[in-house]
Chains A and B, each alone.
Chain A
Amino acid sequence: MNNLGIVFALLGAAFAVLFAGMGSAIAVGKGGQAAAGVVTEDPSKFGRVLILQLLPGTQGIYGLLIGFIALNQIGLLGGSSEMSLAKGLLYLAACLPMGFVGYFSAIAQANAAVSAIALVSKKPEQFGKAMLFPIMVETYAIFALLISILAINGVGPLSI
């Protein structure tokens, strides 16, 4: 029972990677469908729609980052794995923002990206503006990333 701490901590890291990754995968996939449709009609737009498709992929990267930082802090990447239950739960809580926000913001960003791809297919010269729409959603993923990083780093030195 006294090893449950590390279990919850790893659960947290896995959670962040899981949900952020799932979200990005679905999102980039959706973008890919729209992009393929545009390139069927006009292959010269390939580069632009590729970038737009890629925009929701950031959440997966952030999830990976949090997972990595968490694993590092927990000590699973070489080092001891002794941890109290409370600390393990704290780590779990610290990873939650990135997991949830990563998932939902990726899905939302996918919808914006698909619309941006449609915009570019009609008006390719408005690419710059089209790109800004999905980017707005990313702000919230970034806030979640920030808080997760701060929280994970904050839990480390605590002695509970």
Chain B
Amino acid sequence: MAILQMKKICIATLRKERKKLLEKIQRREDIQVSETTSDDSVFFQEDISNAEDMFNTSIRLSTQAREILTKYYPSSEIKVSSFAGRKALPVSEYDDFSKKYRKILKKAYELEDLHEDILELKNKILNHEVQLETLKCWLNFDLPLNYKGTESTVCFKGTLPEKWKKEDIISLLSYEDGSFIPAEVEIIYEAERYTGIAVFALEKDSELVESKLRFKEFVPPTITSSKTAKELKEELEAEIKDMEATIQENTEKIGTYQKYMEDFQFLEDYDQMRQEKYHVLTKTLTSNNAFILTGYCPAKQAAAIKEDLEASLTCVVDIQDVKEDEDFPILLENNAFAAPLEDTVASYSLPGKGEIDPTFAISIFHYVLFGLMLSDAGYGLLMVLGCGFILWKYRKTMEAATKKNLMLFLYCGLATVFWGVMFGSYFGDLPDTIARTFFNYDLHTPALWFFPISEPMRLLAFSMIFGLIHLFTGLLMKAYLSWRSKDFSGLIYDALFWLGLLISCVIILINTSMVQGIFNYSLSLPTILIKIAQIIAMICAIGIVLTNGRESKNPAIRVAKGAYALYGISGWLSDVLSYARLLALGLATGVIASVINLMASMAGASGSIIGIILFTIICIIGHILNLGINALGAYVHAIRLEYVEFFGKFYEGGGSPFKPFGMNTKYYKFKESIKNE
């Protein structure tokens, strides 16, 4: 329930030790490096563009190498389980890798070359195949493809669109007077859409024949060669065979690189870390002999950092307090119960200056809201068991972020079980359905509180009451913030007046017959209480009108603004009604679950083995789908209620996150504490 206090840290060391210092800080992951500038000529900032290019290339190469290997040999892929997290390795492995670095990089280049060769060959094969396709219709033409004719004859070969008969072509080739041009016509190939022909004519008629043919859209073949079609075909096929053999060879060669898969992963991570080190370099100052780095660190780590660094390096570590109104990066710290909601807060905005950490407040409400909207003990149990199992199985290596997410769903699952038991929902009405279908027994599983389906208005009333509690908590947080920053007028005018007005309105409303009619209850509060409530409401309302526009000096505008602020009470009405979604979503889960059970019972009505199997299958598929959809809905709507209704009352945000210089690797992480086994 806190924003960690930060301290400013300044480290000065010898230039020759700067690499060691940066690596140490990177592994510690608890210092955020800030930009350090200097006006004098002693210090300068490094230019890293060369190194930058080098790292970009090597990271790209190593990623590509892995992809190539996976493409040709899918079994070589080393899957990274998102639950198991990154593999932890001792620091000595990191240092040792520098010996292998050149060799592995070279292997990555070689793989790239092999792969590109294969791609090129594949392209060529494609080209050849297209040519072969075109040649298909010329196979019967046993003259060379570029045959033009003899001394006195001309040869036209090509295709005419659509089907042509020999007689039609002959009659096409006629003189003006109708007599046929002496020509030898041969149909070489008949296809659906075109006809391959060869026409031999006399030299003197060549122009006429050509024009007549072209008039009918005659097209010569697209391939020319001094060989006949058959010869060309054989040549192309032989080339294709050769190229395929080379591809096969290359693929096998690629196979021999599989043993470097882990090394490629290591290379990627190694250079990723080095690249980040160089990025950090641009924020630091270097001189001929010295190196200076400034940044922020959590106050409680400061002493440990100082001790660690000064013991292992020749350096000086200077710790200072952050000034009163200076901005510092935000790092939240909460107990295990509330910690999972830190990401939710960060998604909205981290606390700004002067604000408090709302994580603990929204954690309680989040779990309850989620549970209310999913409200089924069976689903909750599934969530608890699932998350619990994964957390237990990977407990040694799981990343902190994954752990937080799983804990979130674990706690939400517990809340869901609670509300499920309250509302008597165990996979919908599954126990009743099973009893009725298979044992002909009327089981009535009880609800600890009441069944939402039979008393929806009661649940609606409860949802709105819960909403009021949520909203009042927001208002109280605002009151606390005002009190803490000694803004006492804000405390009274913005928080207390509204609290008074709202509470008295609620008291008056619950006494009216209209509300009692909707929610089916009767209540008769003592008249004196109503009178007091009315007076308080009046006082608060007038107070709000007079003070909520107090930024304006002009009294008329001030009152107008105040009146407008009072109109904001309709905003409160809409906020409270927004909580009706708790009823809707809770009912939706239960109703869909009942429908699934109904369908399953219809399938399993026969009571035979097949019936039981069908029943089980329908139940499993249906309930898992229902769980998925409604859990997602519950999660998002709970967050929406917190962001809009709750945060809207007191929270602005605007802080920037604490981003320590660390290892943003994909596969491995290196810890000082791990010794080589």
Q: A residues near B, CB below 8 A?
A: 47-48, 50-51, 54-55, 58, 61-62, 64-65, 68-69, 72, 77, 125, 127-128, 131-132, 135, 138-139, 142-143, 145-146, 149-150, 153-154, 157
What are 25 A-B pairs with beta-carbon distances under 8 A? Answer: A47-B347, A51-B640, A54-B637, A54-B640, A58-B578, A58-B581, A61-B584, A64-B584, A65-B580, A68-B587, A77-B453, A125-B654, A127-B347, A127-B349, A128-B653, A131-B644, A132-B644, A139-B570, A142-B574, A145-B577, A145-B580, A150-B514, A153-B517, A154-B517, A157-B517
The residue that B347 contacts in the complex, of A48, A77, A157, with Cβ under 8 A, is A48
What residues of B have a CB within 8 angstroms of the CB of A125 in the complex? 349, 653-654
Q: Is there a chain A Cβ closer than 8 Å to B571's Cβ? A: yes
A8 to B33, CA, bound (A): 69
Residues of B contacting A61 in the complex (Cβ-Cβ under 8 angstroms): 581, 584-585
Within 8 Å of chain A (Cβ to Cβ): is B588? yes
A150→B639 contact, CB < 8 A: no
Are A51 and B518 interface neighbours, CB within 8 A?
no
Known: A127-B347, A145-B577, A150-B514. 13 other contacts (CB 8 A): A48-B347, A51-B636, A54-B637, A58-B578, A58-B581, A68-B584, A125-B654, A127-B349, A138-B574, A139-B571, A149-B518, A150-B518, A154-B517
User: Are A68 and B348 in touch, CB under 8 angstroms?
Assistant: no
Q: Which residues of the partner chain A approach B347 to less than 8 Å between Cβ atoms?
A: 47-48, 127
Whether A142 contacts B577 by the Cβ 8 Å rule is: yes
Q: For the complex formed, measure the closest distance between the CB of B667 and the CB atoms of chain A, giving whole angstroms.
A: 20
Note all chain A residues with C-beta closer than 8 A to B583: 65
**How does the 8 Å CB contact mask read for B203-215 relative to A, with 1 for contact and 0 for none?**
0000000000000
Residue-by-residue, is B626-655 near A (CB-CB < 8 Å gives 1, otherwise 0)?
Answer: 000000000011011001100110011110
Is the pair A128, B456 in contact by a Cβ cutoff of 8 Å?
A: no
User: Using Cβ atoms and an 8 Å threshold, which residues of chain A touch B573?
Assistant: 142, 146
- Bound Cα distance from A131 to B518, whole angstroms: 32
**B653 partner residues in chain A, CB cutoff 8 A:** 125, 128
Q: How far is the CA of A31 from the CA of B121 in the complex (A)?
A: 46
Q: Which of B571, B580, B583, B588 has the most CB of A within 10 A?
A: B580
- Complex formed: what's the CA distance from A36 to B457 in Å? 38
CA distance A58 to B582 in the complex (A): 11
Cα A157 to Cα B516 with chains together (Å)? 13
Name the 6 nearest CB pairs between A and B, nearest first. A142-B574, A65-B584, A61-B584, A47-B347, A142-B577, A139-B574
Chain B residues with CB under 8 Å of chain A are 347-349, 453, 456-457, 514, 517-518, 570-571, 573-574, 577-578, 580-581, 583-585, 587-588, 636-637, 639-640, 643-644, 647-648, 651-654
Pick from A54, A69, A128, A157: contact of B348, CB under 8 Å: A128
Give the complex CA separation of A153 and B639 in angstroms: 31
* CB–CB B652/A128 < 8 A: yes
Contacts of B639 in A (CB 8 A): 51
> Considering residues B347, B349, B654, which has the most beta carbons from chain A within 10 angstroms of its beta carbon?
B347
Contact B584 A55 (CB under 8 A): no
Look across to chain A and name the residue whose beta carbon is closest to the beta carbon of B453: A77
Q: Judge whether A72 and B348 touch: CB under 8 Å.
A: no
A55 to B637, CA, bound (A): 9
Chain B residues near A154 (CB-CB < 8 A): 517
* Most A Cβ at <10 Å: residue of B570, B578, B653: B578
Q: In the complex, which residue of chain B has the Cβ closest to the Cβ of A77?
A: B453
Chain B positions within 8 Å of A146 at CB level: 573, 577
Return chain B residues, CB-CB under 8 Å to A145: 577, 580
Task: Give, as a whole number of angstroms, the nearest-CB distance from B91 to chain A.
Answer: 30
**Quick check: A153 and B584 within 8 Å, CB to CB?**
no
Most-contacted residue by chain A among B517, B518, B571, B574 (CB, 10 A): B574
Query: Do the beta carbons of B647 and A128 come within 8 Å of each other?
Result: yes
Contacts of A143 in B (CB 8 A): 574
User: Which residues from A are CB-within-8-Å of B349?
Assistant: 125, 127-128
Give the chain B neighbours of A150 by CB distance below 8 A: 514, 518
B540 to chain A, nearest CB (A): 23
**Cα separation A41 to B119 with both chains bound (whole Å):** 29
The chain A residue sitting closest to B578, CB to CB, is A142
Task: Give Cα A127 to B350, complex, Å.
Answer: 11
Shortest Cβ gap from B370 to chain A (Å): 15
Kindly state the separation between the CA atoms of A52 and B398 in the bound complex, as whole angstroms.
31
Q: A61-B581, A128-B653, A149-B518 are in contact. Are A50 and B456 (CB under 8 A)?
A: no
Complex: A42 Cα to B385 Cα, angstroms: 34
- Give chain B residues whose Cβ lies under 8 Å from the Cβ of A65: 580, 583-584, 587
Please indicate the chain B residues that have their CB under 8 angstroms from the CB of A51 in the complex.
636, 639-640, 643
Q: Would A153 and B518 be within 8 Å (CB), given that A69-B456, A127-B349 are in contact?
A: yes
- Pair B644/A135 contact, Cβ less than 8 Å: yes
Q: Residue on A with the closest CB to B580? A: A65
CA distance A150 to B518 in the complex (A): 7
B652 to chain A: which residues have CB within 8 Å?
128
Q: Chain B contacts of A50 at CB under 8 A?
A: 636
Q: Which residues of B contact A132 (CB under 8 A)?
A: 644, 648
Q: Which residues of A contact B636 (CB under 8 A)?
A: 50-51, 54
Query: Which residue on A lies nearest to B637, using beta carbons?
Result: A54
When C-beta atoms are compared, the residue in chain A nearest to B517 turns out to be: A153
Q: Are B348 and A127 in contact (CB under 8 A)?
A: yes
Residue of B nearest to A58 (CB): B581
